[in-house]
Chain A
């Protein structure tokens, strides 16, 4: 009996081969699948296990491959591409060290819910588990920091797996997906069919918020005496900035953005109180602490936002809109949970609000805004404008002026990141690109490459420090190869500023390892890579230098600003304190 069945299978296979299209190699299927998926750029680095795929890339011209200098940079560049466009970033790296180098970038994307598909080469299936050359268990290593991952063991599954990978990465709460492709799978042949639509019985993201919950939320919002909108990266990921802006203006309530949410509502609008949290503004944090209805949208009550959770928003009823049910009531108990896509929920909220006969309590709002304006008058971001040293805040304010607030800004991690978030006023979404969740130093420069590649005509600035920039500085070479005219703003204070600040505040000034000795000459370094280098040492030179640099449209300019070594980021909520217990200047 089995013999007969096998016989028919062989016949069936032969017939299909004749009547259907020719077979492609796994590598060709990879290329065709990405093209079908609408992908234009792949960020990557070749190696033994991905040689068949690179050979297929060589023989086509629909996908452009960007060669980075380190796999970590490939993931950050794809991440920057994704954050600035809303489209998924794509990475291709080899097995073993290629995959492990990519892990930092994958974890970075995971923490900030960035859609990304990372293809890792793998040793041939017959060698898996044999401790082969350049073998690691990529699926095992990446499992805790991906939304999902796949090992493709049969070339016949490759196209559908790639389709699933993009589907999972881009829908629901987005995130990175890893697809591990053994070398023999890339070389084997199969028919190519890329499914246009896909469904998975084990994965069906919510597409609609519950109407009754939405109605309940609007009712609660309209009874508020001291309301506060608190919005995060989820609004930007859902492309819901216009709905949020309309709703906020319609309600007339104060709003604060998280670090990830900057730009979702115009920073220059008077209803925007700026960023909240550990280095948020006084008015935003005080507003949070005293509000009676908190409207959280696409934000996840991160510890850097809440401070001491026991002291968080003690008098507030909480409405929380999020695509991820697991984000709701994870850290803070929510009174009106709404699980759904932020854009759809906000549209529905607008509809319900416009139909509602009830209006916000005008007298209560007047009193609440009076209080907020008093907090705002504290001018918590003030700094010494007469200093003879370059104040980092001044560089960023001037950068904002010189670029007309229109630049795409990436940042690394540390003090410069916080100052950028405080002083560069983002009026549009997708323009502020930083590693918020994982806090990955080395993110800024490669992310800026991804942004510039996605937006060749736009101004892209990378705000960094002399610590962070050295974690991925090799990418200056990639920038040269692809002619990326980034502007690198290096706020060089000669120390790991945020570490030093904590050591000053909480470790009695024992500055363990927070000083950077033997720094390179950044001007010469930039020149060595074929770029323009500048060093700025005096406050009066800041503006002319920025103007000159941003005037050079086709060159990468590395600007090394020697800034005040002792400047700290204020306000600051110390660990364990409540939002109303800020350290001010």
Chain B
């Protein structure tokens, strides 16, 4: 099953490679990984998406917790949560397809953030599924470039990941 794991870790050189090294050394999957500082500059927040059986996910969270730089972590799937991913997609938009692409972007609540005679660059935010759906809706040959931020997530309600 797919899990989103959020990690608060010391904002120190090498912290990212400890996590990446753990996943490669123990043969766990990483689907996506994103990391950035938080409001507390001594902490980074990493969000990673992984898949595995319940036993594997349990081992992953235990092994992550063992890393000395990891302050706290949360498996988002232990409760209700929101996930978001941002995608920038550059699409050929000339002639007849120009209107069609604009319409699709509207349907997906995307924003056109750059325009040229033949190209739209669109920003779409949502769950990974929604982004997949948008990519699927655009004619494949019209896609020039796709860049995705990787998943971030936050728990709903009172539940929070903080020190």
Contact = CB atoms under 8 A, between A and B. Distances in A.
Tell whether A pairs with B.
Answer: yes
Given A139-B14, A143-B17, A143-B21, A324 B66 contact: yes
Contacts, number: 37
B107 interface: no
Nearest to B163: A201
B130 interface: no
B70 A202 contact: yes
A151 B68 contact: no
A330 B70 CA distance: 20
A144 B66 CA distance: 13
Interface residues of B, number: 20
B37 to A, nearest CB: 16
Contacts of A203: 68
B14 A325 contact: no
Contacts of B62: 325-326
A110 B10 CA distance: 23
Contacts of A551: none
Interface in A156-206: 168, 200-203
Contacts of B59: 326, 330
Nearest to A139: B14
Contacts of B25: 144
A329 B17 CA distance: 26
Contact of B9 (A144, A202, A329, A330): A202
A203 B55 CA distance: 24
A308 to B, nearest CB: 18
Nearest to A144: B25
B13 A202 contact: no
B128 interface: no
B33 interface: no
A202 B63 contact: no
B71 A202 contact: yes
Contacts of B14: 139-140, 143, 151
B63 A326 contact: yes
Given A202-B71, A329-B55, A151 B13 contact: yes
Contacts of A326: 59, 62-63, 65-66
Contacts of B31: none
Contacts of B58: 329
Nearest to A330: B59
B85 interface: no
A147 B21 contact: no
Kindly name the residue among A147, A148, A201, A202 whose own CB sees the greatest number of chain B CB atoms within 10 A. Answer: A202
B18 interface: yes
A202 B10 contact: yes
Contacts of A143: 14, 17-18, 21
Interface in A299-343: 324-326, 329-330
Nearest to A201: B71
Contacts of A139: 14
Contacts of B21: 143-144
A252 to B, nearest CB: 34
A356 to B, nearest CB: 31
Given A139-B14, A144-B21, A326-B63, A200 B55 contact: no
B26 to A, nearest CB: 10
B23 to A, nearest CB: 11
Nearest to A148: B68
Contacts of B71: 201-202
B17 A202 contact: no
Interface in B37-77: 55, 58-59, 62-63, 65-66, 68-71
Contact of B65 (A147, A200, A325, A330): A325
- Top 4 A-B residue pairs of the complex, sorted by shortest distance between their CB atoms: A326-B62, A148-B68, A202-B71, A203-B68
5 contacts: A143-B17, A143-B18, A201-B71, A202-B9, A202-B70
Given A143-B18, A324-B66, A326-B65, 10 more contacts: A139-B14, A140-B17, A143-B21, A201-B163, A202-B10, A202-B70, A202-B71, A326-B62, A326-B63, A330-B59
Interface of B: 9-10, 13-14, 17-18, 21, 25, 55, 58-59, 62-63, 65-66, 68-71, 163
